[in-house]
Amino acid sequence: MSQLDQPWWRGAVLYQIYPRSYLDTNGDGVGDLPGITQRLDYIASLGVDGIWVSPFFASPMKDFGYDVSDYCAVDPVFGTLEDFDQLLEAAHARELKVVIDQVYAHTSDEHAWFTESRQTRDNPKADWYVWHDPNPDGTPPNNWQAVFGGAAWTWDARRQQYYMHNFLPQQPQLNVHNREVQDALLATARFWLDRGVDGFRLDAINFAMHDRKFRDNPPWDPSGRTITRPFDLQRHTYNQSQPEVPDFLKRVRVLTDEYGARFTVAEVAADDPLPVMRAYTEGNDRLTAAYSFDFLYAASLSAARVRRAQGNWLGGAEEGWPSWEFSNHDAPRCVSRWYEGPDRPRFAKLTNALLLCLRGNPILYQGEELGLTQVDVPFEALQDPEAIANWPRTLGRDGARTPMPWADTAPYAGFSEAQPWLPVGADHPGMSVGVQEDDPESVLNFTRRFLALRKTSPALQWGDVRFVDSPENLLVMIRSSGDETVTCLFNLGDVPANIPEEVPLDGALLACSDEDIDFTGRILPPYGFAILGN
């Protein structure tokens, strides 16, 4: 398939923005939509193809926007609907696509739908959420556990029934089996499509349906795994990834196809995510992409992990299309998870280069272009309900959500004039945009150059991928499209790696970790990389 035949999203690089933490323009310590608009020139200068904006909808903020009380309204903390329209227009003027979150598995308990549903067992929305009678002894209907801890059921005195919630009790589970609920969700999607958005990231979409027989989940042997909550002690056979979900996703695709090429990416958190991702993306009648947690919670980065994850997507586009993230708003930043040495910028360049060499859609989380580290947020400053509930057994999500640093000398690193909702990382002002802009060897400017390289390379954007057998810490990945071949070499270890003789090293050096890299001895230095083109 030629470049002209490719939909815009295949191989596109998205930049994820967590709006609470990007830029505060009204002095309340919380980032907002005008803050994103104000920084669009910076985002465009990176060379990404579009932005994914995390939830900005009306919400009580029990889970910071993933508890939606009105799908078609902007929460005042982020601005107004007019602010979003201005952001969309300004992004499109800079040839940036705009992808937004859609949360279809649950709403806030303050959503009007739930307020009506909980009143009686026979009102028009009585079956819009997942309700169930108690067991004869008063206990919940089954053993399902919530992600954030405790049973996935809360008693409601009005209906004298339990309602289900996979996350917080304030996030009641929608009954997406119900066709009326599907229609209502699709109507909210149409609202944003009519405004001009270019796609959706479907949050926790494999949680959208439940087993209608309400069978107990089987236990999961904790041996060899880190256990921080009861949720980790069972296989989630019946409260997620149900076989009816793809039929709903086909309805989503029919809707988005009305608007031309639109990007739809599923977040899939599952015990065995690959079959679920395939089921959600295969063919041309479902979502365009999916991503799982191959890298997001991985404690270490290894060549074997990359080969395994990328190796699941070696076939044609008809088998589905992956997206990749190394860090995001839910997972600790990869530079801190995967590296403890003295040269964090070097390692950040390696991870950014690797992400941008993978076949699929790389998603660069805000601050990754700077090599930002995970922030150790003290207990008294925590905001994340998961972190608070499971402290100190989990890092939680706050450490990856701290304010974006724009300047080293301005108050709060230029994020806000007021104290931010989360503390600025102690080392982040020194890694700020202002500090890195004028340094040609900074992580920021390296990432810009690599994004520009990817944009000129069909092989890196959507080409085939294969691997060459190599020593344990060495990753050798060959990307190819038509007459172009790109050889990607990454040493993911802290000792020099020997490059196998069968790997050709006579191509043009497109990018590398070390200016004086010398392949005479076929050695790649620790945490070194080299990208060679024919």
3-state secondary structure of 222: coil
| Cα–Cα–Cα angle for 311, 284, 319, rounded to 5 degrees | 15
Catalytic residue among 122, 258, 438, 501: 258
Q: What is the spatial distance between Cα 289 and Cα 278, in angstroms, rounded to a whole number?
A: 9
Run of H or E residues at 20: none
CB 165 within 8 A of CB 154: yes
For CA atoms 254, 259, 261, 267, the dihedral sign is negative
Q: What is the spatial distance between Cα 512 and Cα 522, in angstroms, rounded to a whole number?
A: 14
| Cα–Cα–Cα angle for 344, 455, 35, rounded to 5 degrees | 65
Residue 190 — φ and ψ, nearest 5°? -60, -35
Chain-centre distance of CA 504, in angstroms? 35
Q: Which amino acid is at 512?
A: C
Q: What is the spatial distance between Cα 459 and Cα 297, in angstroms, rounded to a whole number?
A: 28
Residue 383 — φ and ψ, nearest 5°? -120, -25
Residue 468, judged by CB atoms within 10 A of its CB (0-12, 13-18, 19+), counts as middle
Q: How many Å from the N-terminal Cα to the C-terminal Cα in the chain?
A: 20
Q: What is the spatial distance between Cα 481 and Cα 31, in angstroms, rounded to a whole number?
A: 41
CB 98 within 8 A of CB 19: no
Catalytic residue among 24, 63, 156, 203: 203
With b for 16 or more beta-carbon neighbours within 10 A and e for fewer, the 490-526 pattern comes to bbbbeeebebeeebeeeeeebbbbeeeeebeeeebbb
203 catalytic per annotation: yes
Q: In whole angstroms, how far apart are CA 361 and each of 106, 304, 320, 481, 499?
A: 26, 20, 12, 16, 28
CB 47 within 8 A of CB 460: no
127 catalytic per annotation: no
Residues 6+ apart with CB under 8 A from 282: 318, 319, 320
For CA atoms 403, 408, 414, 420, the dihedral sign is positive
Active site residues: 203, 258
